């Protein structure tokens, strides 16, 4: 366990996954050419047991 309070998503615009534009265009990075196996987004903090069950 840590004292990390989590991420404050207040006032966050678009959630852009595996793409540079429009949030980051440095180095002409327009898109991610790699592959993503899985992405899970939860609306609560997971317990260690819940994370182990997913894995």
Quick one: residue 49, left, alpha or beta (phi over 0 = left, psi -120 to 50 = alpha)? Answer: alpha
List, for residues 27-37, the tens digit of each pLDDT value. 776 666 778 78
List, for residues 1-55, the tens digit of each pLDDT value. 678 888 888 888 877 777 766 667 777 766 667 787 888 889 888 999 999 999 8
The structure's pTM equals 0.45
């Amino acid at each position: 366990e840590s004292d990390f309070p989590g991420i404050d998503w207040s006032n966050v615009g678009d959630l852009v996954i595996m793409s540079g534009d429009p949030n980051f265009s440095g180095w002409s990075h327009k898109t991610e050419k790699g592959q993503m196996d899985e992405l899970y987004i939860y609306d609560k903090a997971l317990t260690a047991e819940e994370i182990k069950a997913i894995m």
